[in-house]
Structure 1
Amino acid sequence: MTPSPYAAARARIDSLLQRPGRVILGLVGAPGGGKSTLAARLATDYPEQALVVPMDGFHLANCELKRLDRAGRKGAPDTFDAPGFVSLLQRIRNQAQEIVYAPLFAREIEEPIAGAIPVLPERKLIIVEGNYLLCDGPWAPVRHYLDESWFVATDEVQRNAWLEARHVHFGRTIEEARHWIAVTDAPNAQIILQTRDKADWSYIPEPIPTAG
């Protein structure tokens, strides 16, 4: 019997944890594809070893996006502090005994919060999740710090359904959510999907059953 996608993911984690020293796993995928869900599930299943560090903590603040006239494309590759993210990965890779603090993106206020995630030196598995981990340009150095990268490959229909629900949950109307998906999330997804072949493995979530 073929193992479920999540069972296969667990098997790969178990193999990674046999390596000496710290392991950094990158989870990549288009917006709404389930990266955060997978990362959280893995962290729950490996509570003493794993910690999630999201790339979203490196969103530029809304005031800076406004200054750059990029507020309407928030989430595009150039609306993040990519060099800052690379510097964090370098610190996590070379961590000794000090605590390394990572930022968190708070969707309730649509702003990053500095120093919200303490990366403790005893955590062996750091799960980094984000859209642009396999992109070129200022993101290219990220791959140097990943021991393994997985592409979370969710089909477009499911991604858009999850995105719409998320946008509505955090305050947008249905119409606003669909507009944002069309003008921002969808173009970003096309950039990310082009990086799939760079990943070490593709994780294809099981489809959610529909009624009827």
Structure 2
Amino acid sequence: MEQGRDWTWFGIDISGKSLKEAERRHKTQQEDKKKQIQKIYLMETKADSDSTLFRSRLPQDLYFDFVSMQVMANLLFLLNKLLKICLKLTNQGIVLMTITDANVLVRKMSEFTIKDYEGNYVYSKNQYFSLKFKNLQFPKNKPFGYQYYFYLEDSVGFKEDNQIKYVPEYLIELQAFEQKAKEYTLEIIENLNFIDFFEKYKQKHSYLLKIMVKPPSDD
């Protein structure tokens, strides 16, 4: 962040716990002069809702220098569109995305899935995480609209009467994504899987890692 400049942070998430954690970190770092975030706005939404309510709360002249989309980009690949990413992004703005590795996901689904009573392919090794596909056919000439269903305890989806309520997501085919990004003057400046990303930046951002592993007390 540039020194001497005030910053405003907006957060939108389907997990209320994630928003509370973001607010807690902001409060614990307010005394740090390196942190210049003056205002923080949080909003919880349902996974299947549109963004009309969130957009209505944004000032019309507000644009973002940095947009972080943690596993939300997987909702973009229903249609051949990326326009909304650019609508509120400044010139030279940066978008940071965390996405599932489609190749790894498809391989695991092909090797380790079982069929449920409805004929869906389900991958689940524990009670906290589950994936479901209706079919495992992925034509290479149709990279958009590969829907699957995702559940992660306390974060994505929920359980009701011990039954999982999944959230629909879409596979991201990286080559198609790169081509579509260029159409909207977006350039991919770095593409790393999590292990490589962690190894590259763990020393530079060790302080943040310590906060995530052992959060400061609220006292």
Tell me whether the two structures share a fold, i.e. TM-score over 0.5. Answer: no
Structure ranking higher in helix proportion: 1
With normalisation by structure 1, the TM-score equals 0.35
- Larger relative CO (CA 8 A, sep 6+): 1 or 2? 1
Structure ranking higher in strand proportion: 2
